[in-house]
Amino acid sequence: MPPWDACGARTYSEPTVPTFYERPLTWLFGIAAICLDAVALSVDHEGDFATVLGLGQLLLASGWLVLGQSHPLARATWVIVAIAVLTAPDYVIPRLRSGFYIDLVWPHVLGELIAGAAFTSAVAAGWLTVLRGFAGDDHHCLSRKPQFSLATLFGWMIVVAVASTGLRNADFSLIDDNLTDLISGCGLALSAATAMAAALGAYRASWSTRMASLIVIASGAVMSLAAGVSRQVAAVHLGAWVFVVMWIVVTRLDRRMDAKAIARADSYDGAETALRLVADER
């Protein structure tokens, strides 16, 4: 039995941040990604390897914003942290290299990261809604009365303030500077967000939902790799796509092991209850 129902509601209580014992592969994947980030920054923070890692991690954070099972405030916070961390090298390194610098690069980088995260999250949310409509899950979802604590309201105020500051300092003027790169980037985000929503979203899968997801993923991949971009850009997009696929596989394996552990614990509880009933009857 999965740890959430078709509407995305949890069917058992779980901490907001899973421990290493509960999600070992996910933790190892995150640790490996951090180590690779350190290597990429030490070699060349503007190289293809660093770009692949940064683009892949941006796609993951954006998809997790919609598909994650933790508190929405935590998910939104991690997306903002991911964007800030990915922008930091272009903000800090020029200042360390020379005292004479002009802030020309990092505002454009920040704008592209914000636009990419917003587009990926929107596609993931939209496609998950479409999948639930295909599966008829929306008819089974009961309306829940939202509840907000005072600490949560303060947290959202901080998130909105930080996001507003980022939007004010970001420069979006270069997003449509190259139409080919824009179409290719949208294709990558489309295919990655669709894959994450189809593989990790909470809905009742069927042959129609799988076929529709494959069609959209293939369309996005064609847009990403066949939009007339250079081989270097195509290689970066391919590397980011592989990063996303690896995260999907790791997450599904962790969820499957967690589901087996829960089923095993439920069977033990059932056997213990049966033994107690037998002992009481005797």
Nearest residue to 83 via CA among 116, 49, 52: 116
Residue 17 located in a structural domain: no
Residue 274 located in a structural domain: yes
Residue 13 located in a structural domain: no
Residue 147 located in a structural domain: no
Residue 3 located in a structural domain: no
12 class by beta-carbon count within 10 Å (0-12 exposed, 13-18 middle, 19+ buried): exposed
Q: What is the pLDDT of residues 45-64, one digit of tens each?
A: 778 888 899 999 999 999 99
Mean pLDDT within 179-205:
89
pLDDT of residue 249: 92
Would the pLDDT of 145 be above 90? no
Residues 6+ away with beta carbon under 8 Å from 111: 170, 171, 172, 173, 174, 175
Confidence grade of residue 233 (pLDDT, cut at 50, 70, 90): confident
Q: What is the pLDDT of residues 70-128, one digit of tens each?
A: 888 889 998 999 999 999 888 887 777 766 666 678 888 999 999 999 999 999 999 99
Show the domain range for 210.
Answer: 24-139+153-281
Higher pLDDT residue, 13 or 250? 250
Write the single-letter amino acid at 25. Answer: L
Residue 4 located in a structural domain: no
| Mean pLDDT value across the chain | 80
Would the pLDDT of 15 be above 60? no
Nearest residue to 97 via CA among 48, 24, 45, 175: 45
Residue 135 located in a structural domain: yes
pTM for this predicted structure: 0.79
Q: Tell me the three state secondary structure of residue 4.
A: strand
When divided into structural domains, the chain yields a total of: 1
Q: What is the pLDDT of residues 20-38, one digit of tens each?
A: 667 788 889 889 999 998 8
pLDDT of residue 144: 57
